[in-house]
Amino acid sequence: MDKIRCIIVDDEELARDLIKTYISKIDYLECIGTFENPLTALSILKTEKPELLFLDIEMPDLRGTDFAELVSIMNTRIIFTTAYSEYALKGFDLNALDYLLKPITFKRFLSAIEKYPKDNVIKKDFMVVKSGYDLHKIVYNHITYIESDSEYVHYHLTSGKKIIANQSLKKLEKLLPNNFMRIHRSYIVNKNKTTGLKGREIIISEIKLPVSDRYFETVKKELFNN
């Protein structure tokens, strides 16, 4: 089963940190973003389409229940979090997966997570990347490698096309599927596209990419051990 990608929206920093810590304790969950303001979370909800949203109800700019109605057309399931039990009925009216009353214990958190229909997680074979004002749907298998360039990354595709986006390799490492691997501070490669290792360089067809000392042994072990 693929990991269930989660978003946390809560105006309280302590609450966000607690839920993020709980998520990190469960191997099939992955937190891909935390937000203080629900409106700033809309973009990643639309582009990444996470499977699970932990959503506070009582927030200054927009109530969680109102925000939930905005994202109701997406396939993201919602677990409401709040300090006010009187909102529970409204939460379930919105077809919420569960309703967690603060302070949230890990035991209660687990109980809510168990309600998620894990067998229904759909594996995505693509990612959506914003380049300037444009959005690109990039199939993972079409990526040969990703190169860092200051505040930008270059997606090098099998077609020869290159897409530039304002992202960081560090964040991408956490979002990419397991067939991608960091080999250098400036490079992530698609393991399925590598064809050889010559000295301290990875070969991808006619392309040679440097492998840093930090990653060299891992690269040899994962890619070139029988």
Q: Which of 115, 3, 1 is nearest to 50 (CA)?
A: 3
What is the per-residue pLDDT for 89? 47
Express each pLDDT in 69-78 by its tens digit.
Answer: 776 556 788 8
- Give the integer Cα–Cα distance in Å for 204 and 209: 8
Tell me the whole-structure pTM to 2 decimals: 0.52
Task: Enumerate residue ranges in the chain where pLDDT < 70.
Answer: 1-2, 71-74, 85-95, 118-124, 226
Could you list the residue range(s) of the whole structural domain that residue 188 is in? 126-224
Instruction: Report H helices in 86-140.
Output: 88-93, 106-113
Which of these three, 120, 140, 171, is where a domain ends?
Answer: 120
Q: What are residue 133's DSSP bridge partners?
A: none
CATH label of the domain that carries residue 62: 3.40.50.2300
Could you tell me the two tokens for 172? Answer: 């991408």
Which of these three, 65, 93, 120, is where a domain ends?
Answer: 120
Q: What are residue 156's DSSP bridge partners?
A: 145, 162
Same domain membership, residue 173 and residue 131: yes
Same domain membership, residue 144 and residue 72: no
Same domain membership, residue 177 and residue 87: no
Same domain membership, residue 13 and residue 115: yes
What is the per-residue pLDDT for 183? 95
Task: Write phi, then psi, for 32 (nearest 5 degrees).
Answer: -110, 5
